[in-house]
Amino acid sequence: MYKILKKELLSPNVWLYDIEAPRIAKKTQPGQFLIIRTDEEGERIPLTIADFDRDKGYISIVFQEVGAGTQVLGQLNEGDSILDVVAPLGKKTHIEKDMGTVVCIGGGIGVAPVYPIARGMHQAGNKVISIMGAKNKDILILEKEMRAVSDEVMVTTDDGSYGIKGFVTNALQQIIDRGEKIDEVIAIGPVVMMRSVVEATRPYKIKTVVSLNPIMVDGTGMCGGCRVQIGEEIKFACVDGPEFDGHMVDFKGLMSRQRMYKDKEKTESDHVCNLTKVKEAL
Amino acid sequence: MALVMKKYTMPEQDPAIRAHNFEEVALGYDEETAIAEASRCLNCQKPRCVQGCPVQIDIPGFIAKMKTGDFSDAIEVIKGSNSLPAVCGRVCPQENQCEKYCVMGIKGEPVGIGRLERFAADYDLNEQQKGAPVQCASDAKKVAIVGSGPAGLSAAGELAKKGYKVTIFEALHKAGGVLSYGIPEFRLPKEKIVQVEIDDLKKLGVEIRLNTVIGKLYTVDELMQEEDFGAVFVATGAGLPSFMHIPGENLNGVYSANEFLTRCNLMKAYKFPQYHTPLKVGGTVAVIGGGNVAMDAARTSLRLGADHVYIVYRRSEKELPARLEEVHHAKDEGIDFRLLNNPVEIIGSDDGNVKSLHCIKMELGEPDSSGRRRPVPVAGSEFDLPVETVIVAIGQGPNPLVQSTTPDMLTNKRGNIIADEETGATTKEGVFAGGDIVTGAATVILAMGAGKKAAQAIDKYLKDKG
């Protein structure tokens, strides 16, 4: 059992949990993920590790309530426990000294997993330019944290309510246009956003790393449910990734596979919704 | 008294009914039939059956007890050699092991050794003999076991009985390995059998740490240096699914058998939406492969409501690697065997779902290196099999997580750990390995045999070290 030490609402339906897990905190590296199962009937949900504190022995997750699994998770409170936490999983982000200028792009709650990467890049002495994208000002998360680990931060909102009006790719283009030499771009967020970033950097041959989020079950390489086409090869995102060279990723295939259980998710969500009502009635 | 040449029949669920439920198919003997079947044993002076058992159970010994109805004594004899008898009695391919060597089998049918083992084990489980947990000595040496499948569980049982403090590290949230995620409920009940036998091990003082991925949370070196384990037994199995590398394998509706069975058995997707993990099975299903995993996936599909299920296998019936009994069960339930057929492409619709399986017919040519006749494509015989789900069950390889983080433990070119056949010793001092991670995918009982041998070698290693 893994105790929730802190629960914080970052934006509507988006939660940050600090979870007590000293050993996991000790071993986690930026870019890695975990799998949680809230209770006996729950499914295994992959979430990127948004932060870790080795001294205090906790890890953080940031998640949005989108389906049944995350709805159940969102109902837990400080002091409650999560049944299963498996981590750290996947390969760590490639971070070293003298990589040069790194642009870290987070879209929506993708800012959360980008945060430890930006921090790692910054601590290693690289120049970090961060781009944070959100639909509007109210749902922007972790701005203060990102500013603390970046040399420069650009914020974009779809509706122009804060920062640059438009998408993260608009900000990226500004950086390219001003003649900044970019050595690497890391983008994490919705698949359509990552695909746009990859298409934006492709003509300039800028190395672009994306973190993929296919459907997973075990997260340890034993089922291949998370397989993605990378160039000519089939890779398992849970063990070979989750980060891949964005210019090699078959995004169309990824998006198609993500839709596999859409109808089942609805059934499941209704089921959880009904259960919640029963609980409240009691 | 005249010899009874045939095995007493074991009752089974009616195929028409069982094809739609997840209850156990084979129902087991009652006391009277168990005693009658035991009485068929001739109690040979030199019992050949024992040499066919990978863990060398004293078969005539336990059967002698059963003849007189002393079932509790019978199970004590079995447990001297085998820590998971209710499992092994159900899933061992006895026709290739103990029963293959039974003298009764020369002129008639061999004694139903597996069924008798199963009966004794079930009798014992029902008796609920709850002993107090064993406390091992405070200065007991620590042994780490990586993986809680049959090899790991068997080694743990042996080592605990020898007085070691044993900790099993398991990556998933449930112990049992293939017994929990792979073999379906209708062949091996999870709560009633697997969990009870694992709990029995805990009573011997074995600690099981779930959700712990070795290679990620701890390396083998960290276990030995930081966590003070005197020896490590690596039993991580063959869990990496193979795909065919044909076009269309990433379409929606294509599963590895591992994913399909894990969703169903471990995550209980057959109880969706009470359990939250979904599993999609289209009207017509094709399972590629001819082993036990393929049979399990096909029969599971049927129970999840598939209209029609094919087994697509590139060789002929004679070469099917699955247990004979399981092939019979599958046929009785209505699985459609398409033998000497090989898939060449999976065709999808515009929305990314499987539409059909494009196959080519095969014929058998000369024997290959495995001694089986090599299947050769028949030119111009390609055809389309309309299906909505494809389950790939063509084998599993070794998961590289532990090996890749333990550089001084060498592997062969297939990625299996190199280990001494008799002792399980690897090229790294203090580290032993056994089961599918060494041999490639094999059987539950062979893995258990390897676990037992390794436990004896670990005992000797730690005693020699002082």
For residue B279, give the DSSP letter. -
Residues of B in contact with A271 (CB under 8 A): 273-274, 276
Average pLDDT of the segment spanning B44-73 = 94
Return the number of other C-beta atoms located less than 10 Å from residue A275's C-beta.
Answer: 17
pLDDT category at B206 given cuts 50, 70, 90 is very high
* C-alpha torsion angle, residues B161, B167, B171, B177 (rounded to 10): 0
Dihedral over Cα of B28, B29, B34, B38: its sign: negative
Distance CA B334, CA B276 (A): 29
Residues of B in contact with A254 (CB under 8 A): none
Decide if pLDDT at B127 tops 90: no
Distance CA B102, CA B48 (A): 6
The closest of B28, B125, B19 to B72, measured between CA atoms, is B125
Residues of A in contact with B174 (CB under 8 A): none
Instruction: Assess if residue A282 is contained within a domain.
Output: no
Decide if pLDDT at B129 tops 60: no
Host domain of residue A165: 101-259
**More reliable by pLDDT, A280 or B337:** B337
Which residue, A42, A69, A89, sits at the end of a domain? A89
Are A107 and A151 found together in one domain? yes
Minimum-distance CB partner of A256 among B241, B252, B263: B252
Nearest-CA distance A224 → chain B (Å): 7
3-state secondary structure string, chain A? Answer: CEEEEEEEEEECCEEEEEEECHHHHHHCCCCCEEEEECCCCCCCEEEEEEEEECCCCEEEEEEECCCHHHHHHHCCCCCCEECEEEEEECCCCCCCCCCCEEEEEEEHHHHHHHHHHHHHHHHCCCEEEEEEEECCHHHCCCHHHHHHCCCEEEEEECCCCCCEECCHHHHHHHHHHCCCCCCEEEEECCHHHHHHHHHHHHHHCCCEEEECCCCCCCCCCCCCCCEEEECCEEEEHHHHCCEEEHHHECHHHHHHHHCCCHHHHHHHHHHHHHHHHHHHHC
Instruction: Assess if residue A229 is contained within a domain.
Output: yes
- Render pLDDT for B135-147 as a digit per residue (tens, 0 to 9): 777 788 999 999 9
Q: Which of A69-83, B124-138, B304-318, B373-387 has the lowest mean pLDDT?
A: B124-138
pLDDT category at A281 given cuts 50, 70, 90 is low
B280 contact partners, CB below 8 Å, separation of at least 6: A260, A261, A264, B253, B389
**Which neighbouring-strand residues pair with B254?**
B390
Are A110 and A65 found together in one domain? no
For residue B10, give the DSSP letter. P
Going from the C-alpha of B190 to that of each of B58, B182, B185, the distances in angstroms are 27, 11, 6
Check: CB of residue A100 under 8 Å from CB of residue A183: yes
Going from the C-alpha of A19 to that of each of A10, B209, B216, the distances in angstroms are 16, 19, 18
Decide if pLDDT at A278 tops 90: no
Give the pLDDT confidence score for residue A143 in this predicted structure: 94
Are A8 and A138 found together in one domain? no
Q: Which CATH number goes with the domain that contains A137?
A: 3.40.50.80
Residue bearing tokens 């929990």: B180
Q: Is residue A242 reached through a cis peptide bond, with omega within 30 degrees of 0 on the bond before it?
A: yes
Are A195 and A170 found together in one domain? yes
Going from the C-alpha of B140 to that of each of A263, B132, B135, B205, B250, the distances in angstroms are 54, 19, 10, 12, 50
Structure tokens of B403?
């090996």
For residue B264, give the DSSP letter. I
Give the pLDDT confidence score for residue B313 in this predicted structure: 97
Residues of A in contact with B351 (CB under 8 A): 256
Partner-chain contact A84 B173, CB within 8 Å: yes
Which residue, A89, A124, A149, sits at the end of a domain? A89
Minimum-distance CB partner of A41 among B171, B172, B274: B274
Give the pLDDT confidence score for residue A264 in this predicted structure: 74
Helix then strand then coil, % of chain B, to nearest 5: 35, 20, 45
CA A59 distance to own-chain centroid: 14
Geometric angle at alpha carbon B50, from B49 and B54, rounded to 5°:
115
Residues of A in contact with B243 (CB under 8 A): 224, 227, 234
Partner-chain contact B276 A259, CB within 8 Å: no
Give the pLDDT confidence score for residue A282 in this predicted structure: 53
Size of interface A-B (CB pairs under 8 A): 119
By CA distance, what is A258's nearest residue in B?
B252
By CA distance, what is A25's nearest residue in B?
B217
- Render pLDDT for A108-136 as a digit per residue (tens, 0 to 9): 999 999 999 999 999 999 999 999 999 99
**More reliable by pLDDT, B339 or B466:** B339
User: For strand B231-234 and strand B240-241, is the pairing parallel, antiparallel, or unpaired?
Assistant: unpaired
Give the pLDDT confidence score for residue B39 in this predicted structure: 95
Domain count along chain A: 2
Which residue, A89, A116, A136, sits at the end of a domain? A89
Optimal mutation site among A39, A222, A268, A278, interface B, most CBs of chain B within 10 A? A222
Partner-chain contact B211 A256, CB within 8 Å: no
Distance CA A20, CA A12 (A): 24
Going from the C-alpha of A12 to that of each of A66, A115, A231, the distances in angstroms are 12, 20, 38
Check: CB of residue B326 under 8 Å from CB of residue B351: no
3-state secondary structure string, B130-193? Answer: CCCCCCCCCCCCEEEEECCCHHHHHHHHHHHHCCCEEEEECCCCCCCCHHHHCCCCCCCCHHHH
Partner-chain contact B277 A37, CB within 8 Å: no
Q: Report the helix count and the strand count for chain B, using DSSP H and E.
A: 17, 16
Check: CB of residue B323 under 8 Å from CB of residue B313: no
Are A166 and A246 found together in one domain? yes
pLDDT category at B323 given cuts 50, 70, 90 is confident
Average pLDDT of the segment spanning B4-8 = 93
pLDDT category at A170 given cuts 50, 70, 90 is very high
Are A123 and A229 found together in one domain? yes
pLDDT category at A230 given cuts 50, 70, 90 is very high
Amino acid at B387: V
- Render pLDDT for B404-452 as a digit per residue (tens, 0 to 9): 999 999 999 999 999 999 999 999 999 999 999 999 988 888 999 999 9
Return the number of other C-beta atoms located less than 10 Å from residue A19's C-beta.
Answer: 24
Minimum-distance CB partner of A217 among B212, B263, B268: B263
Partner-chain contact B243 A224, CB within 8 Å: yes
User: pTM for the full model?
Assistant: 0.92
Instruction: Assess if residue A268 is contained within a domain.
Output: no
Are A69 and A166 found together in one domain? no
Are A220 and A115 found together in one domain? yes
Instruction: Assess if residue A225 is contained within a domain.
Output: yes
Q: Which of A231-240, B29-38, B226-235, B270-279 has the lowest mean pLDDT?
A: B270-279
Check: CB of residue B169 under 8 Å from CB of residue B153: no
Decide if pLDDT at A276 tops 80: no
Check: CB of residue A24 under 8 Å from CB of residue A88: yes
Instruction: Assess if residue A271 is contained within a domain.
Output: no
Per-chain mean pLDDT for chain B = 93
Decide if pLDDT at B384 tops 60: yes
Decide if pLDDT at A204 tops 60: yes
Check: CB of residue B131 under 8 Å from CB of residue B200: no
Instruction: Assess if residue A115 is contained within a domain.
Output: yes
Average pLDDT of the segment spanning B269-280 = 89
Q: Is A57 left (phi over 0), alpha (psi -120 to 50) or beta?
A: left
Per-chain mean pLDDT for chain A = 93
Check: CB of residue A157 under 8 Å from CB of residue A168: no
Decide if pLDDT at A280 tops 90: no
Distance CA B210, CA A51 (A): 23
Give the pLDDT confidence score for residue B368 in this predicted structure: 82
Residues of A in contact with B247 (CB under 8 A): none
Label residues A248-260 b or e (16+ Cβ within 10 Å = b).
bbebebbebbeeb
Decide if pLDDT at B203 tops 80: yes
Give the pLDDT confidence score for residue B369 in this predicted structure: 81
Instruction: Assess if residue A275 is contained within a domain.
Output: no
pLDDT category at B324 given cuts 50, 70, 90 is confident
Are A159 and A61 found together in one domain? no
Partner-chain contact B399 A234, CB within 8 Å: no
Distance CA B274, CA A162 (A): 43
Check: CB of residue B28 under 8 Å from CB of residue B106: no
- Render pLDDT for B344-366 as a digit per residue (tens, 0 to 9): 999 999 888 999 999 999 999 88
Instruction: Assess if residue A248 is contained within a domain.
Output: yes
Amino acid at A209: V
Decide if pLDDT at B213 tops 80: yes
Give the pLDDT confidence score for residue B1 in this predicted structure: 62
> Under an 8 Å CB criterion, which residues of B touch A?
171-173, 210-213, 216-218, 239-241, 243, 245, 249-253, 255-256, 258-259, 262-263, 267-268, 272-278, 280, 351-352, 399-401
B160 contact partners, CB below 8 Å, separation of at least 6: B134, B136, B166, B201, B204, B205, B206
Are A202 and A254 found together in one domain? yes
Are A12 and A142 found together in one domain? no
**Which neighbouring-strand residues pair with B218?**
B214
**Residue B64 half-sphere exposure toward CB, CA atoms < 13 A:** 10
User: For strand B431-433 and strand B254-256, is the pairing parallel, antiparallel, or unpaired?
Assistant: unpaired
Minimum-distance CB partner of B217 among A23, A68, A270: A23
Nearest-CA distance B56 → chain A (Å): 31
Distance CA A20, CA A42 (A): 20
Are A85 and A114 found together in one domain? no
Give the pLDDT confidence score for residue B139 in this predicted structure: 81
DSSP calls for B377-437 = EPTT--EEEE-SEEEE-S-EE---HHHHT-TTS-B-TTSPBP--TTT-B-SSTTEEE-THH
Q: Which CATH number goes with the domain that contains A35?
A: 2.40.30.10
Longest dimension (CA), chain B: 71
Residues of B in contact with A250 (CB under 8 A): 250
ipTM of the complex: 0.90
Partner-chain contact B280 A261, CB within 8 Å: yes
Give the percent of chain B with pLDDT over 70.
98
Residues of B in contact with A87 (CB under 8 A): 216-217
Return the number of other C-beta atoms located less than 10 Å from residue B157's C-beta.
Answer: 24
Give the pLDDT confidence score for residue A69 in this predicted structure: 87
Average pLDDT of the segment spanning B172-185 = 95
Nearest-CA distance B239 → chain A (Å): 5
> Under an 8 Å CB criterion, which residues of A touch B?
23-24, 27, 37, 41-44, 68-69, 72, 83-89, 217-218, 220-225, 227-229, 234, 239, 250, 253, 256-257, 259-261, 264-265, 267-268, 270-272
Distance CA A147, CA A104 (A): 12
Give the pLDDT confidence score for residue B281 in this predicted structure: 84
Optimal mutation site among A36, A218, A257, A266, interface B, most CBs of chain B within 10 A? A218
Give the pLDDT confidence score for residue A272 in this predicted structure: 63
Residue bearing tokens 């007189």: B68
pLDDT category at A274 given cuts 50, 70, 90 is low
Distance CA B307, CA B285 (A): 8
